[in-house]
Amino acid sequence: MARRAVSDQPVLDEPMSTVAETQIKLTPEHDARRGPSVRSRLQDLLPKIVLAPSFAATIVFVYGFILWTIYLSFTNSKTFPSYAITGPRAYQRLWGWTFDTDPPSSWYTSITNMGIFGFLYIAICLMLGLFLAILLDQKIRGEGVLRPIYLYPMALSFIVTGVAWKWFLDPGLGLEQTLHQWGWTSFHFDWIKNKDFVIYTVVIAGVWQASGFIMAMFLAGLRGIDGEIMKAAQIDGASTFQLYRRIVIPLLRPVFLSAFIVLAHLAIKSYDLVVALTSGGPGGSAWLPSNFMYEFTFKRNEMAVGSASAVIMLMTITAIIVPYLYSELREKSR
Amino acid sequence: MLRKLIIGTALATSFAFSAHAADVKEVQMLHWWTSGGEAAALNVLKQDLAKEGYAWKDVPVAGGGGDAAMTALKAMVAAGNYPTASQMLGYTVLDYAAAGVMGDLTETAKKEGWDKSVPAALQKFSVYDGKWVAAPVNVHSVNWLWINKAVMDKIGGTEPKTFDDFVALLDKAKAAGVIPLALGGQNWQEATMFDSVVLSTGGPEFYKKAMNDLDDASLKSDTMKKSFDNLAKLVTYVDPNFSGRDWNLATAMVIKGDALVQVMGDWAKGEFHAAKKTPGTDFLCYRFPGTDGSVIYNSDMFGMFNVPDDRKAAQVALATATLSKSFQSAFNVVKGSVPARTDVPDTDFDACGKKGIADLKKANEGGTLFGSLAQGYGAPPAVANAYKDVVSKFVHGQIKTSDEAVTELVKAIDDAK
């Protein structure tokens, strides 16, 4: 490319090239004689200045308070925080409760439920979301109508979802009662009243709410795949299934990462869904660690145990997300 | 432009500050009495104070058990922003008093003679270190049976005097095709019923030792095992859909005649009143069989905070108004509970209220007034919630036998002490 001498005019009269190659210069070029100008330095710094307040707030309110919670978990805090370190008694109690399986302690129930709920919620949402996105991507006619219909449940809060599904799944009020009235009297669906199955009703309500959003993410990802690649594969004789399995889904890996992060954080946050849907479940069988933390910190005035449970939740999530993030982002930088 | 904006903001905020400094004749009250009947009851106090020229600043935080309100209170107190008073239950008052944030009403108490008129059991919670820190508003008791009279007459039942009578009555109801026992399968409801079962099975002395003193020997005893057996028997009389049901829906079942009886505190009476039912004609109130002569109570109290001097006059006015005989009568008639003073005349109360007042007086004098463990008046919240967990797990089948239940109960209470 012919290089002009140092000037402030945008470079417009270059030979036509593809979009990927043209560099439209809108900022003043560096003055080779005097170094970077104040204006350009300011404009380099501008994103950092804009982000600085949020960054500071995150450092204090997220990481600062994480440290505060970790500190409290080693104290003897009951109703109010106390700052005298007394040792890891809270952790010892939690450790003991982890092995109380018959009858299950609240902590054991919480962590097993988190495992069941987390795994099913994330896996089903991803699969369902991907499946719906692939179906919607087939250039069907009603796509503009169907897409928002699938997406709407995301607009509801967990509380509304919980209450609505509670009525729907209640054997005396909802689905079972309606089918009985319509004549199918041997139908039973009382999972929500059953201590072993109530956690699956939480999965149902959660999946209903979030799959639309995951579908939208995957749809965006699918739209971003270059049509040329798909056509080339079809010319080479790939079946539709092979096409999706070998080409499209691997190309969607960044979307999987984002969707996984979103779903994981929604699953951890699911305090209100459990409360609204099950009020804790029969005998407390639907508790998740967030319910356990709230119950112990605010209702039982056992702040140290609540803090310890929160720290364990954090460590669990970190153990899962950090390696995943690391492996995904490391490959990207190659 | 920017300069104008800064000056404008500064002026606006300065007005906000000056407005605060001038406010002294104001009472700021945090509570969770947000349902229709409860709010109407609190309105009586609001009007009483308005007559004396005090403005009422309501800080309502909805949520039946008061959890949300107590969390909001914790935040306010931690920020140093004390309300004039807050609705609080038992051990919360003591916790805050131990943290040193409560005010001192001893002078008002002496002047009004609260030492003599407030039952001794309540004073355990409203007096800390010799100083009055809370004004009790009412006394609810939990060992009641609420029976639909029409259904009772249909099956030919009479007041059950012993637990076995009660079981026979439930059998009669079952045979007649009515749901015998209306229960909501939430842990506090199951534990509230269990409080009555323990008192009925073991008697007043046993209840006090086990549920208030948390004596290991009593908790491990055969009497406790029998209490769990009795609870299991009662649970066989509930409908299959009871899990997770709210308490007022269970009361509605009794009001409508779908169920015969509910074991619940006397706040259930408010539901009957709201449905325009009268005691004796539409519904019957009996003490839980085997508990006549004792009262298992919980009490709403207004905890008074250590407010700055310019707000102390308003606080004294609030405390005096709360424990005035006229307010105690008017409020408790609407709320369904019994006055926190034993010397309030019972002329305005209905039949069940009159019985409640008489029972309270007798229990106070006889030393059979006990704090409800399920309602947070028997022991601190850590213990109370551990207890509720064990009872709930027993009712829902995670704990399978009474022996196991006793073991778990002892373990849970010891761990939470």
Please, are residues A139 and A150 in contact by the beta-carbon 8 Å criterion? no
Judge if B185 and B258 occupy the same domain: yes
Judge if B290 and B303 occupy the same domain: no
The contacts of residue B278 (CB under 8 Å, 6+ apart) are B350
How high is the pLDDT of residue B237? 95
Domain that holds residue B326: 26-140+299-360
Contact status of B100 with chain A (Cβ, < 8 Å): no
Query: Does position B375 have pLDDT exceeding 50, yes or no?
Result: yes
Q: Which two tokens stand for residue B75?
A: 């935040």
**What's the mean pLDDT in B313-333?**
90
Q: Report the domain count for chain A.
A: 1
Of B327, B369, B318, give the one whose Cα is nearest residue B105: B318
Complex ipTM over 0.85: no
**B220 domain residue, yes or no:** yes
Judge if B35 and B52 occupy the same domain: yes
Cβ–Cβ below 8 Å for A300 and B399: no
Judge if B384 and B281 occupy the same domain: yes
**What's the mean pLDDT in A53-73?**
95
> Among the ranges A44-48, A200-204, B47-51, which has the highest mean pLDDT value?
A200-204
Residue at a domain's end among B360, B375, B390: B360
Query: Does position B403 have pLDDT exceeding 90, yes or no?
Result: yes
Specify the DSSP class assigned to residue B162: S
| Mean pLDDT lowest among B22-36, B127-141, B243-257, B296-310 | B22-36
Query: Does position B146 have pLDDT exceeding 50, yes or no?
Result: yes
Judge if B369 and B320 occupy the same domain: no
Judge if B277 and B184 occupy the same domain: yes
| Chain B residues 233-252 within an 8 A CB cutoff of chain A | 240-241, 243-244
Burial class (CB in 10 A: 0-12, 13-18, 19+), B84: buried
**A2 domain residue, yes or no:** no
How high is the pLDDT of residue A298? 87
> Among the ranges A172-176, B272-276, B299-303, which has the highest mean pLDDT value?
B299-303
**B132 domain residue, yes or no:** yes
**CATH number of the domain that residue A196 is part of:** 1.10.3720.10
Judge if B239 and B388 occupy the same domain: yes
Average pLDDT of the residues of chain A: 87
Give the model's confidence band at B13: pLDDT under 50 very low, under 70 low, under 90 confident, else very high.
low
Helices (DSSP H) in A183-252: which residue ranges?
198-223, 227-235, 240-242, 249-251
Give the model's confidence band at B18: pLDDT under 50 very low, under 70 low, under 90 confident, else very high.
very low
Of A93, A283, A76, A304, give the one whose Cα is nearest residue B411: A93
Judge if B43 and B148 occupy the same domain: no
**A62 domain residue, yes or no:** no
How high is the pLDDT of residue B15? 52
> Distance from A103 to chain B by nearest Cα, in Å?
6
How high is the pLDDT of residue B19? 45
Query: Does position B12 have pLDDT exceeding 60, yes or no?
Result: no
**A63 domain residue, yes or no:** no
Cβ–Cβ below 8 Å for A80 and B74: yes
Residue at a domain's end among B360, B381, B397: B360
Domain that holds residue A130: 104-332
Q: How many CB atoms lie within 10 A of CB B167?
A: 18
How high is the pLDDT of residue A264? 92
**What's the mean pLDDT in B371-397?**
92
How high is the pLDDT of residue A29? 53
**What's the mean pLDDT in B395-403?**
92
**What's the mean pLDDT in A173-182?**
90
Q: Report the domain count for chain B.
A: 2
**What is the tens place of the pLDDT at every residue in A189-241?**
989 999 999 999 999 999 999 999 999 999 999 998 888 888 898 898 888 88
Contact status of A242 with chain B (Cβ, < 8 Å): no
What pairs with residue B174 in β-bridges?
A: none
pTM (predicted TM-score)? 0.83
Contact status of A180 with chain B (Cβ, < 8 Å): no
**A78 domain residue, yes or no:** no
**What is the tens place of the pLDDT at every residue in A248-302?**
889 999 999 999 999 998 998 899 999 999 988 898 899 999 999 999 998 888 9
**A68 domain residue, yes or no:** no
Query: Does position A56 have pLDDT exceeding 80, yes or no?
Result: yes
Q: How far is CA A220 from CA A130, A231, B302, in A?
A: 11, 19, 56
Cβ–Cβ below 8 Å for B385 and A295: yes
**What's the mean pLDDT in B213-231?**
94
**A56 domain residue, yes or no:** no
**B3 domain residue, yes or no:** no
Average pLDDT of the residues of chain B: 89
- Residue with the bigger pLDDT between B10 and B357: it is B357
**B8 domain residue, yes or no:** no
Contact status of B393 with chain A (Cβ, < 8 Å): yes
Query: Does position A1 have pLDDT exceeding 70, yes or no?
Result: no
Distance CA(B176)–CA(A12), nearest Å, equals 94
How high is the pLDDT of residue B204? 94
Listed in order, strand segments (DSSP E) in B74-167 are: 85-89, 127-128, 131-132, 134-136, 138-141, 144-148
Judge if B265 and B386 occupy the same domain: yes
Judge if B408 and B265 occupy the same domain: yes
Give the model's confidence band at A2: pLDDT under 50 very low, under 70 low, under 90 confident, else very high.
very low
Query: Does position B65 have pLDDT exceeding 80, yes or no?
Result: no
**What is the tens place of the pLDDT at every residue in A76-105?**
988 888 899 999 999 999 999 999 888 889
- B185 closest CB neighbour out of A166, A282, A302: A282
Judge if B256 and B405 occupy the same domain: yes
Identify all chain B residues contacting A104, using CB atoms and an 8 Å cutoff. 398
The vertex-A325 CA angle with A319 and A326, nearest 5°, equals 90
| Mean pLDDT lowest among A189-203, B5-19, B121-135 | B5-19
